[in-house]
Amino acid sequence: MRSRFAPSSYVLAAILLIGAISVSGTLWQLGEARQAQMAQAGSQSGSQSSGQTGVADVGGPFSLIDQDGVRRTDQDFHGRYMLVFFGFTYCPDVCPTTLAILSAALDEVGPAAENIVPVLITVDPARDTPEALKPYLSSFGPNFVGLTGTEEEIAAVADAYHAYYEIVESEGGDYTLNHSTAIYLMGPDGKFVNNYSLNMGPDEIAEDLKRLPPVKS
């Protein structure tokens, strides 16, 4: 089975890979196209159900296990903003790059970042146990939360966020995953606010986050 990056090299490797994503991201681009279709359908569905125009039907209740083995629900994050990303620890490029970008963006936001929780929801629950998520996420910052669960729980939350993922078999019985890469910004009320793409970079994401209304105490 292919080994992952050593913990000390996650962020460095991610920075080096930012410029290489366009070269190595064929499957990722297919996932992005699929996700765009799903997100559009979700937005249309939300508009029809709410009677409003442009209200995206993204997100919803979940109950998953964090990197400390504690069951967490969406209610645990209400009162703060969430930056939700679907990925997996064996991801060779897109996932560590995205997490490094989020880490850099939150550093630029400053003290207000205390009210913004970056959340990785794994799409590879078979390998991404709490014991695997904890050291992986610690390389990106102390505030990152990793969530895993059963295959059924992960499928349900991915469907709620219109996130796409697919197992891709490889030689020797190993596998990787093709998945969408949108970063979802969820409000303190748990509702969808905005989404960011990997192409934006930390500066642009940080500038948008700085414009968020302050969290009410």
Contact 109, 116 (CB under 8 A): yes
Q: How many residues does the chain have?
A: 217
pLDDT tens for each residue of the chain, 217 residues long: 443 444 444 454 444 444 434 333 433 343 444 444 444 444 444 433 334 444 468 999 999 999 999 999 999 999 999 999 999 999 999 999 999 999 999 999 999 999 999 999 999 999 999 999 999 999 999 999 999 999 999 999 999 999 999 999 988 889 999 999 999 999 999 999 999 998 899 999 999 999 999 998 7
pTM of the model: 0.80
Question: How far apart are alpha carbons 163 and 123 in whole angstroms?
Answer: 10
Question: In sequence order, what DSSP letters do the residues of the chain get, joined into one string?
Answer: -PPPPPGGGHHHHHHHHGGGHHHH-HHHHHHHHHHHHHHHHHHHHHHHHHT-SS--------EEEETTS-EEEGGGGTTSEEEEEEE-TT-SSHHHHHHHHHHHHHHHHGGGGGGEEEEEEES-TTT--HHHHHHHHHTT-TT-EEEE--HHHHHHHHHHTT--EEEEE-GGG-EEEEE---EEEE-TTS-EEEEE-GGGHHHHHHHHHHTSPPPP-
| Per-residue three-class SS string for 117-143 | EEEEEECCCCCCCHHHHHHHHHCCCCC
pLDDT at 172: 83
CA angle at 172 for the pair 170 and 173, rounded to the nearest 5°: 70
Closest CA to 100 of 13, 181, 177: 13
**CA–CA gap between residue 171 and residue 175 (Å, rounded):** 8
Amino acid at 119: V
Give the pLDDT score at 198: 86
Judge whether 186 and 84 are in contact, CB under 8 Å.
yes
Task: List, in order, residues 6 or more apart from 106 with CB less than 8 Å away.
Answer: 113, 116, 118, 141, 143, 206, 209
Residue type for position 171:
E
